[in-house]
Structure 1
Amino acid sequence: MSLTTEQVRHVAHLARLGLDEVQIDSLSTQLGDILGLVDALSKADTASVTPMAHPLDMGQRGRPDVVTESDRREAYQAIAPSAQDGLYRVPRVIE
Structure 2
Amino acid sequence: MGLAQFLLIFVAGMAFYYGTYNAHLARTGRDSMLVDVSRSKLSLQYDARKPVVYIGYVSGYFVLPESISGAIVFVKAKDDAPALLLLPNPNRS
TM-score, normalised via structure 1 length: 0.31
TM-score, normalised via structure 2 length: 0.31
Taking CA–CA contacts closer than 8 Å with sequence separation of 6 or more, which of the two structures ends up with the larger relative contact order?
2
Task: Select the structure that is richer in strand.
Answer: 2
